[in-house]
């Protein structure tokens, strides 16, 4: 009886620890749907550590200014698998064609994306123009030198 219980418990643990393995297309679809829905925790489930960092940065950008970044993701193509553990997927955001990479890590496909990939120019740091340096007039320099 104890052996049978142990076997049943072992099988139960094995079944619950085995998660669903997603195809590259499912990963891309689920990731971008979650991003568009602003469900960042869900998006992170489909991302590499680099992608998780990008999702966190995206969340910070959007929380700082919710109207500054818009996602209208469409046209998620069937990913092109290159080798055993790398794929590329094309998609459109706000009418702009983009691509994202996927990696197979420990048997699972995950999207490997950076904040620059997600935001493009919108994520670039804003450069503040420097004020022009105005030299004092020659008369002002002479007055200062006399003092």
| pLDDT tens-digit readout, 113-138 | 999 888 875 544 444 444 444 555 55
Residue 128's contacts (CB-CB under 8 Å, 6 or more residues apart) are: none
Can you give the pLDDT at residue 137? 58
CATH of the domain at 93: 3.10.450.100
Residue 29 lies in a domain: yes
* 28 is a domain residue: yes
Residue with tokens 């219980």: 5
In a domain, 6, yes or no: no
DSSP-assigned letters across all residues of 70-85: ---EE--PPPEEETTT
Domain assignment present for residue 4? The answer is: no
Beta bridge partners of 112: 101
Overall number of domains in the chain: 1
Spatial separation of the C-alpha atoms in residues 31 and 16, rounded to whole Å: 23
Q: Quick one: pLDDT at residue 122?
A: 55
Domain hosting 112: range is 21-123
For the purposes of burial, counting CB atoms within 10 Å of the CB of 32, is it exposed (0-12), middle (13-18) or buried (19 or more)? Answer: buried
pLDDT digits (tens, 9 = 90+) for 55-100: 999 999 888 988 878 788 988 999 999 988 999 999 998 888 999 9
- pLDDT at residue 23 above 70? yes
Within a domain: 16? no
């Amino acid at each position: 009886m104890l052996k049978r219980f142990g076997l049943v418990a072992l099988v139960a643990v094995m079944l619950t620890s085995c998660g669903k393995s997603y195809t590259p297309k499912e990963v891309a679809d689920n990731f971008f749907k979650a991003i568009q829905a602003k469900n960042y925790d869900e998006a992170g489930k489909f991302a590499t550590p680099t992608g998780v960092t990008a999702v966190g940065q995206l969340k910070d950008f959007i929380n700082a200014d919710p109207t500054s970044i818009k996602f209208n993701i469409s046209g998620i193509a069937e990913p092109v698998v290159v080798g055993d553990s790398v794929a590329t997927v094309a998609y459109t955001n706000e009418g702009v064609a983009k691509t994202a990479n996927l990696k197979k890590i420990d048997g699972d496909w995950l999207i490997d994306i950076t904040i620059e990939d997600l935001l493009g120019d919108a994520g670039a740091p804003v450069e503040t123009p420097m004020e022009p340096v105005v030299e004092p007039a020659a008369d002002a320099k002479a007055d200062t030198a006399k003092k």
